[in-house]
Structure 1
């Protein structure tokens, strides 16, 4: 079954590449992303089964797909269409915060000094162990929703604040549960060697 989505009326479309021959940009080429602009006519993007198949003016896309059934139409009048962000390194599941350490850092304390005083990763590991599954899941989902609202469409989620097998397994299970609570793409990574357990 073919599903088509038409996004129309945009002022700008930011593309991943500058032309159809490029699959991706790297190095210095990443400074020259493709931006299609129009202050006069709307711009459209046609999606078929989650793949972008055409970009052009509203009129050009309407002519190109005349008589073709479109399942969903999204009015992007005056907006900019751009690719979603991918955050390839996060540790979004934890409890507690280390705001109190900030003053120590400003005063010149090193991370190792803060850790020796019971701060750093060890502090977060202890707070994470004490938190309930529900508390961890609620805070995790809230963080993922904020990422999605900021334009991130796929996130790699590492564990790391359990350190020991049973606690890391608990975090992995909660990360898996989060998939059903938020429509962001999630890749899960087991990161048990984040620090040395006590």
Structure 2
């Protein structure tokens, strides 16, 4: 049984049009498969598992049985969802103030020595509660969905200690039914060198 009809599309970006090609690479990426219809009468039929069952003319597809919902694309374009890799969407703190320093010619190390950079975010993330981090991440996730991201590879890395890194990873592993974003969490504990490193004993070594 089909569940969703997406109608009134002017273009469908398929990438490939066969069932054997899993991805394109190199020069092949310049030859993706695109369907165009100036009359905006393209339609997509989506089955009960969320998979495309049929792509073609609206007049034919809308005759199919089992259509439960209809989405009017209003002359829009259907494209595959984006896979956003190497992202750091769980954090606290705002580093907008650093832009002025960078525009004035400050290097990253100069920004960090002035209390900015990753260490600023690290301190704020350590201070934030898991609930606050989750709330902020959900807002980021919603904005990413609105921009076309459907799969997110998200790294930790703003903790630089076990407790905070685990806190971040718990946020990334929490399922939020209202946000249908597929998240692949990655531990990135060596994102930067902490200000102090605790060795095998009690000796502390200051990082450069």
Q: TM-score, normalised by structure 2?
A: 0.83
Shift of 1:181: 5.0
1:2-40 per-position Cα deviation (integer Å, ceiling 9, x unaligned)? 554322221111112255553322122223322211123
Which residue in the other structure is 1:154 paired with? 151
Asked if the contact 1:4/1:72 (under 8 Å) is kept, the reply is yes
Q: How does 1:44-123 map to 2 (within 5 A)?
A: 44-48=43-47, 49-62=49-62, 65=64, 68-123=65-120
Q: Does 1:33 align with 2:47?
A: no
Asked if the contact 2:5/2:62 (under 8 Å) is kept, the reply is no
Which residue in the other structure is 2:129 paired with? 132
Shift of 1:87: 0.5
How many residues end up aligned between the 2 structures?
A: 194
Structure 1 or 2: more helix by fraction: 1
Q: How does 1:8-19 map to 2 (within 5 A)?
A: 8-19=7-18
Q: Secondary structure at the match of 2:46?
A: strand
CA RMSD of aligned residues (A): 2.1
1:80-112 per-position Cα deviation (integer Å, ceiling 9, x unaligned)? 111111111210011112122222212222112
Q: Secondary structure at the match of 1:118?
A: coil
Structure 1 or 2: more strand by fraction: 2
| Partner Cα distance (1:3, 1:54) in 2 | 10
Alignment partner for residue 180 of structure 2, among 161, 183, 189?
Answer: 183
1:98-152 per-position Cα deviation (integer Å, ceiling 9, x unaligned)? 1222222122221122222222111110011112223212211111111111111
Alignment partner for residue 195 of structure 1, among 176, 192, 197?
Answer: 192
Unaligned runs of 5+ in 1: none
| Partner Cα distance (2:9, 2:103) in 1 | 45
Q: TM-score, normalised by structure 1?
A: 0.86
Which residue in the other structure is 2:162 paired with? 165
Dislocated runs of 4+, deviation >4 Å: 18-21
